[in-house]
Amino acid sequence: MSAHAKTISLTVNGTRVEATVPPRQHLGDFLRERELLTGTHLGCEHGVCGACTILIDGEPARSCITFAVACDGRSVTTVEGLDDDPLAAELREAFSAEHGLQCGFCTPGMLVAARDVVLRCPDADNRAIRTAMSGNLCRCTGYVGIVNAIRRVIDARNTNAG
Amino acid sequence: MAEVSTAGSGVGARVRRKEDDRLLRGRGRFVGDIALVGMKELAFVRSPVAHATITGIGIPEEHRGAVFTWADLAAGGVKPIRAVSGLPGFKVSEQPALADGKVRFVGEPVAVCVAASRAEAEDIAASVFVDYAELPVNSDMLEAVKPGAPKVHDHWPDNVFLETNVGGTIAEIAATAPVKVSRTIRTARQCMVPLEGKGVVVHWDRHVEQLVLTTSTQMPHIVRAGLSECLDLDQGLIRVVAPDVGGGFGWKGLLQPEEVVAAWIAMRLDRPVRWTEDRREHLVAAANAREHHYEITAYADERGRLLGVEADAWVDAGAYSVYPFSACLEAAQVGSILPGPYDFAHYRCRTFSVCTNKPPIVPYRGVARTGVCFAMEQMIDAVADAVGREPWQVRLENLVPPEKMPFDNVTRKHFDSGDYPESVRRAVAAIGLDGWRARQKAGEPDGRLIGVGFATCCEQSAHGTAVYHGWGIPMVPGHEQAQARITPDGGLELRVGVQSHGQSMETTFAQVAHEVLGIPLEKIKLVHGDTGLTPYSTGTWGSRSMVMAGGAVATACRTLAERLCRIGAHLMQAAGPEAVVLKDGAVTAGGAAVTVREIAHTWYRAPQLLPADVDRGGLEVTAGYKPGSDHGTFSYATHAVAVAVDPEIGQVEILDYVVVEDAGTMVNPMVVDGQIYGGVAQGVGTALYERMPYDAEGQPLASTFMDYLIPGFTEVPHVRIIHMLTPSPYTEFGVKGIGEGGAIAPPAALCNAINDALKPLGVIVTNAPMTPEVILSAIAGQRGTA
């Protein structure tokens, strides 16, 4: 451990966590290596592919370009923390029905981003869904199944609301 | 047409995937998720230059014992990777897992550093000082074959792994054909970019006395064979396990130097070690696919009927021959598959597998077919242009017609079934060609140019024994095996040596077993990708798994069905096995029924009730399978795309994209669609975006996703798929392999569409990717000469 290690206190998936971390450790490594929350996947480690997207205080963020020390006092939610989230449950159902995942590596980041898109853009058409999701890369699905899954959730919510 | 029902959950049903839940909850288990007690992390020192002699490696005193070089591995008896082809004239390269005195591409591993964390291992790597005496570089394959080019391997006479010649002379056709069109065509070097990089965790299991290598691979049994050769360790002392694997596309279908190094370090230090490929390592050291160059001429009559094709083709195979596919498979395949789905009589093709100072080439989804289709389909459009017909009409003129199926083409490829011309007709109708032609004529208010392009391809899958025996490489597919075992509670375990990394085999193989045995999907468990638990297999490549391992699963389940019927008949005191039927998970005779669960209970828990002549093999079967044809299956497709090209900025927008595809019988149409969608997305990348540029010194000029562009949500169209269903006469249920086809035709279809759009300007593009820069320089060239 580096001599410059810092002690931080944060909430991870609703649980208080105290940890001493090296300043250079990014949040993705912290979650995976220390908290054993391996659902957050690292696809590029330079903030482009979106596989490592998590929520910080409810907002999507790239855990690979966020330092763990910068999360002192924050609340972090990973894909594992969305097990009981009703909207995440709707998305999981829709991703499965629409074949929105193949190898599953980009999927945790996709779900976190999609959840945000459904909340932020409740009237999004396919084009708007694609634009809103464009910060996440998938190499398997060709995106059609993912767009259809998000479309399905948005449509169901609008039908139920109407 | 297929006779298989799409109801229920057997073959043909669109059922949801068994693997989804864990992946959707972040509970998959990828290599990077595995940590073992006391595990060390590895980081590699990689060459920053493309070609050099190593004159010294300086390891700081404080890190001695944490850094290893080839000298250490060689002293430990490690041998270089040798992937030899038996084709006459093949020149052998030896690839030491760490550079042995010379580096031959940027990114080549030179030394390995061991530490408690990856960050610390990278710190050590940064402190290792390597002296390089730089040598002249081969950064372009066409220069590398010229006399006097610097040699990648000093003892070779030139830089050609292999030259092949297919077909005979077509001088007579060349002299007399009414139509002759020639093109120079090129595709770019690409990275495959699975979202998960490669990774490996190795430890020595003291209890079973085995080296256990858990690695993100498509072919665990082949990795084991290669490791055994390099480490001089019996295969029985090695177990290779593939956990969840985050995409492969070919990049995970090889023995990697890093796997050899990690295995040796784990044994040397007697500690678990892990290496995880990061994105920069992938983009720099694994830019290893697709780089082709064609000089090609097509000869035709006035209607556009092909009389002959001749070509010279070069493939940049990089610095070494990879295990097991070798450095020559791709170029040699060009020679044998360039004729595509067409019926013509005269053909000549010469190919060169060129050795350069770039990463070694590995077969990427579609292998040579993407480049071949890109070349051949441009020629069809060129012929159409020369004879003044619509390109789709010239395709109809030349495609193998259904009445000739099965058909042996000019290179003796045996097409099994299908109606190739019908795929074109359906594509023309589905894209709405007339509407686009009218819009083209009217012109766009924004000045953009509309174009429509077609490409037809066929995809050989489940390659057979003879062809691979012919290649003479370290791997020859024979009979594929599967194990099927009824569990004591009436469930089913399937074990296969192929490996699923997105292909949904946990679901689709269960569907195959369900079709035969009627056991519900939720009670069927697939075990795959583990040499310790599964039968030998060459693995998942070449769109082979459903045909081969699916066929083996069906075969094994049929034997199980017979045994279940025999025991069931005895328990019901029926006249004999022929008096009963197995249906919906029970053996029935008239009104009586005994469930698979009851039969399983009898075999495992109440054997006193079994018939005296019961098969002693019990409720566990290993069965082997080969399709009826050693040539495998041929799925085929016609892709149609409409684009708008902006002549001012060179940008291409895809307005509509249709795939008419015949995959034979589909085990799960949802999964087939997913393979096609995903393939097309990669094809769009090949066509418009993806290129690893190199400078004259062999330096890769992209190393992040900001400069190596893979298509995202806004670049890939909402593809429409139309299925044709012509079963293969040679396979279980009539299935055909389909994994690669989607990625084959898009560059060709998009190129033809762009050229259709550019037609009023009198220019063409022939090289991929067709970036704005390429399109604008084509337009500017014409303006310059005008």
Domain positions in chain B are 20-28+479-625, 34-135+198-245+252-285, 363-461+633-785
The 10s digit of each residue's pLDDT in B470-490 is: 888 999 999 999 999 999 999
Identical fold between A6-81 and A84-161? no
**Which band of pLDDT confidence, cut at 50, 70 and 90, is reported for residue B705?**
very high
The answer, for A85 touching chain B at a CB cutoff of 8 Å, is: no
pLDDT, tens digit, for every residue of B719-769? 999 999 999 999 999 999 999 999 999 999 999 999 999 999 999 999 999
Kind of pairing, strands B273-276 and B40-46? Answer: parallel
Q: Give the separation between CA B281 and CA B286, rounded to whole angstroms.
A: 7
DSSP string, B112-153: EEEESSHHHHHHHHHH-EEEEEE------HHHHTSTTPPPSS
H helices within B16-127, ranges in order?
A: 20-24, 70-75, 118-127
* Average pLDDT score over chain B: 96
From A102, A111, A137, residue closest to B24, measured CB to CB: A111
Of A56-70, B500-514, B568-582, B713-727, least confident by mean pLDDT is B568-582
For the segment A84-120, what is each residue's pLDDT rounded down to a tens digit? 999 999 999 999 999 999 999 999 999 999 999 999 9
DSSP A26: B
Among the four given CATH numbers 3.30.365.10, 3.40.50.300, 2.60.40.10, 3.40.50.1000, the one describing domain B363-461+633-785: 3.30.365.10
- Indicate the DSSP class of residue B244: B
- The answer to pTM > 0.90 is yes
Which residues on chain A are in Cβ contact (under 8 Å) with B719? 142, 144
Query: Are domains B20-28+479-625 and B34-135+198-245+252-285 of this chain identical in fold?
Result: no
Q: In this complex, do B196 and A101 lie within 8 Å of one another by their Cβ atoms?
A: no
Average pLDDT over residues B702-715: 97
Whether the upstream peptide bond of residue B477 has omega within 30° of 0, thus cis, is no
The answer to whether the CB of B742 falls within 8 A of the CB of B440 is no
What strands, in cross-sheet order, belong to the sheet with B52-58?
Answer: B102-103, B52-58, B129-134
Query: What is the rounded CA–CA span in Å between residue B25 and residue A82?
Result: 8
Mean pLDDT of B690-699: 97
Residue numbers in A near B20 (CB within 8 A): 92, 95-96, 101, 104
Residue B781: pLDDT band (50, 70, 90) is confident
Tell me phi and psi for residue B308, to 5 degrees.
Answer: -175, 160
Residue labelled with tokens 């083209």: B440
Do the Cβ atoms of A37 and A55 come closer than 8 Å? Answer: no
Q: Which CATH class is domain B20-28+479-625?
A: alpha beta
Instruction: Please give the pLDDT value at position A162.
Output: 67
**Candidate from B30, B710, B713 with C-beta closest to A139:** B710
Distance from CA of B195 to the nearest CA of A (A): 5
Instruction: Indicate the residue of B279, B503, B718 with minimum beta-carbon distance to A147.
Output: B718
**Would an 8 Å CB–CB cutoff place A51 in contact with chain B?**
yes
CATH code for the structural domain at A6-81 = 3.10.20.30
pLDDT (tens digit per residue) in B521-556: 999 999 999 999 999 999 999 999 999 999 999 999
**pLDDT given for residue B785 in this prediction:** 45
| Interface check A83 vs B, CB under 8 A | yes
Q: Cα(B702)–Cα(B2) distance, rounded to whole angstroms?
A: 47
CATH code reported for the domain at A84-161: 1.10.150.120
Nearest to B262 by CA among B119, B78, B50: B78
CATH number belonging to the domain at B34-135+198-245+252-285, selected among 3.40.640.10, 3.40.190.10, 3.90.1170.50, 3.90.76.10 = 3.90.1170.50
The sheet carrying B449-461 orders its strands as B449-461, B633-645, B652-662, B720-724
Q: B134: which strand partners?
A: B52
Domain boundaries, chain A: 6-81, 84-161
> With an 8 Å Cβ cutoff, are A140 and B674 in contact?
yes
Alpha carbon of B196 to those of A44, A107, A139, B538, B692: distances in Å? 9, 11, 10, 22, 19
Sequence-ordered strand ranges (E) for B629-713: 633-645, 652-662
Which residue is associated with the tokens 């996440």?
A: A136
pLDDT tens profile B124-158 = 999 999 999 999 999 999 999 999 999 999 999 99
The upper half-sphere exposure of residue B313, i.e. CA atoms within 13 Å in the direction of its Cβ, equals 35
pLDDT at residue B64, rounded to an integer: 94
Rounded to an integer, what distance in angstroms lies between the CA atom of residue B170 and that of residue B145?
25
Confidence bin at B4 (pLDDT 50/70/90): very low
Decide if A63 touches B, using CB distance below 8 A: no
Tell me the average pLDDT across B76-98: 96
User: Is the ipTM above a cut-off of 0.95?
Assistant: yes
- Inter-chain touch B718–A25, beta carbons under 8 Å: no
Coil/strand/helix, residue B677 = helix
> Which is nearest to A134 in space by CA: A151, A109, A157?
A109
Q: Does residue B168 carry a pLDDT above 70?
A: yes
What share of chain B has pLDDT > 90, as a percent? 95
Q: Which residues of chain A have a CB within 8 Å of the CB of B716?
A: 142-144
Residue bearing the bigger pLDDT, B5 or B541? B541
The minimal CB distance from A105 to the residues B30, B35, B712 is found for B30
The percentage of chain A sitting over the pLDDT mark of 70, rounded to a whole number, equals 98
Please say if the pLDDT value at position B82 is more than 60: yes
Query: Nearest 5°: CA angle at B482, between B478 and B484?
Result: 160
Residue B3 pLDDT > 50 = no
Q: Which residues of A touch B682 (CB under 8 A)?
A: 139
Could you tell me if A45 lies within 8 Å of chain B, comparing CB atoms?
Answer: yes
Structure confidence by residue, pLDDT tens digits, B348-360: 999 999 999 999 9
CB proximity list for B215: less than 8 A, separation 6 or greater: B31, B198, B199, B200, B201, B223, B240, B241, B242, B259
B66 pLDDT above the threshold of 70: yes
Q: Is a pLDDT exceeding 90 seen at residue B782?
A: no
CA nearest to B218, candidates B242, B189, B234: B242
- List pLDDT tens digits, range A38-92: 999 999 999 999 999 999 999 999 999 999 999 999 999 999 999 999 999 999 9
In this structure, what is the dihedral angle of CA atoms B2, B8, B14, B15, given to the nearest 10 degrees?
-150
Task: Provide the chain A residues 87-116 that lie in CB contact (below 8 A) with chain B.
Answer: 92, 95-97, 99, 101-108, 111
Window 1-40 of A: residues touching B by CB (8 A cutoff) are 22, 24-25, 32-33, 36-40
DSSP at B32: G
Using a CB-CB cut-off of 8 Å, the residues of chain B touching A25 are 119
Residue of A nearest to B34 (CA): A38
**Residues 114 to 153 of A: which have CB under 8 A from any B CB?**
126, 129-131, 133-134, 136-147
For residues B368-380, give the mean pLDDT. Answer: 98
Q: Do A142 and B680 touch (CB under 8 A)?
A: yes
Contact B704 A145 (CB under 8 A): no
Residue of A nearest to B20 (CA): A96
pLDDT at B1: 35
If you average pLDDT over residues B49-70, what whole number do you get? 98
Q: Cα B516 vs. chain centroid, distance in angstroms?
A: 29
Q: Do A144 and B677 touch (CB under 8 A)?
A: yes
